[in-house]
Amino acid sequence: MATSSGGPIGLATTDHDPLESRRLRGGQSVTGYLIFEAPEDATTWDLIFSPLNGSYVLGLGAFED
Amino acid sequence: MPFAHRLTSLLLATVITAGTASGAVRDIDKEKWTSGASNGRPAVGDEVGILSYGSDGPVALVTVEAIHEDFDGMTSDPPADSFYVAVDLTIENVGAESVTYDANDIDLVLGDGSILFSSLMSLPEEEPGPLSSDPVPAGDTTSGRVLFVVPDGAAVGGVVYDDYYNMAILAATDDFPDHAPGETLNWTYQDVYYGEEYDLDVTITDTIDPYDGRTAPAGSRYIALEFTIENAIPDDGYRVVTTTFEMLVDGNQLRGAHWPRDD
């Protein structure tokens, strides 16, 4: 079972650009995908986001189509 | 939890007493904990499995027994513009090896989504006493209390386990932050090392579930989330946006972000 968060290696696909660390000026943005491994039958999620020094919970609940 | 914080915590840690009870290793249903069968967020009183890298199931079950808001068991008043919150926990070692946890592994979630580290202030020794950092042998159970100094006006959203590499939600309250994908969230914070202020707008702009661009391990599926992160600071200063530590956590498990190698 993989539980390590690993490092930002990037996606080996051509159809989805990975989200990459970036230096942004005010007003600039970065867009990209991250892949998460999830239990096969789990349906609710929360995201832990840790920019540099702090951590934040993005309480997502269940994804909707 | 940032490494520097953990290191500081270790250096400043005081000797605390253990409240450990011996017993045989409980025969738990590991499938319950590895399949994500328990959807929804755990509440106070629920057992939450804590995984260890390479383990085939939880090595410990952690229960938040109580969250004491406006905790009045300290001998000193809280710092200005803040209040005390104490969290009582029970940790049962259900693995084959000793496990070690301490207050640095327990964080508080506030209603705005920010995560607060535990306080280094010494708790009174009265029951249950501070959470011990002594190893818990296989089959044993330990209980203890963790203290937080919370800014006035903040709501207590829940408790999370955080060992730097893995996180799990231990208990959620009615004030746990809830957001829908597509909703833009604004996070402002100050970097403690360089003093820079950050102001980020974060939006999940696409969800692919399941993501079939890769073959997932047995019992798992991949989910791809598209993020858009904007530096909302109006000046022209650069800010580095790192994507290293995002983690997707289901209601009763912990799962790390996964970046498949091009194999």
Question: What's the sign of the alpha-carbon dihedral A28, A34, B170, B167?
Answer: negative
Estimate to the nearest angstrom the gap between the alpha carbon of B62 and the chain centroid. Answer: 12
- Cis ω before B128 (30° cut-off from 0): yes
Q: Residue A32: which of B162, B219, B227 has the nearest Cβ?
A: B227
pLDDT at B54: 62
- pLDDT grade for B150, boundaries at 50, 70 and 90: very high
- Which tokens go with B14? 């005081």
In A, minimum Cα distance to B237 occurs at A25
Q: How far apart are CA A20 and CA B8, in angstroms?
A: 30
pLDDT at B23: 60
Higher pLDDT, B134 or A22: B134
Task: Assess whether pLDDT exceeds 50 at residue B235.
Answer: yes
Largest CA distance in chain A: 40
Higher pLDDT, A26 or B165: A26
pLDDT at B92: 93
B75 — contact with chain A (CB < 8 Å)? no
A9 — contact with chain B (CB < 8 Å)? yes
User: Residue with structure tokens 């592994």?
Assistant: B105
A18, A32 contact by CB (below 8 A): yes
Task: Please indicate whether, in this complex, the C-beta atoms of A11 and B179 are within 8 angstroms of each other.
Answer: no
Q: Compute the average pLDDT of residues A31-53.
A: 70
Task: Assess whether pLDDT exceeds 90 at residue B84.
Answer: yes
pLDDT at B13: 28
Q: What region does A2 belong to: left with phi over 0, alpha with psi -120 to 50, or beta?
A: beta
Q: Which residues of A touch B246 (CB under 8 A)?
A: 5, 34, 47-50
Mean pLDDT, rounded, of chain B: 76
Q: Which of B183, B223, B236, B253 would you mutate first to test chain A, the one with the most A CBs within 10 A? A: B223
pTM of the entire predicted model: 0.74
* Helix-, strand-, coil-residue percentages of chain B, each rounded to 5: 5, 40, 55
B249 — contact with chain A (CB < 8 Å)? yes
Q: Which residues of B touch A22 (CB under 8 A)?
A: 240-241
E strand spans, chain B: 20-21, 47-50, 60-69, 82-93, 106-110, 115-117, 141-151, 156-162, 167-172, 185-190, 197-208, 220-231, 239-241, 247-250, 255-258
A1 — contact with chain B (CB < 8 Å)? yes
Q: What is the pLDDT of residues B30-68, one digit of tens each?
A: 555 443 333 367 788 888 878 776 666 678 888 999 999
A14 — contact with chain B (CB < 8 Å)? no
Establish whether this prediction's ipTM goes over 0.90.
no
Rg of chain B over CA atoms, in angstroms?
Answer: 19
* A-B contacts (CB, under 8 Å): 291
Higher pLDDT, B11 or B170: B170
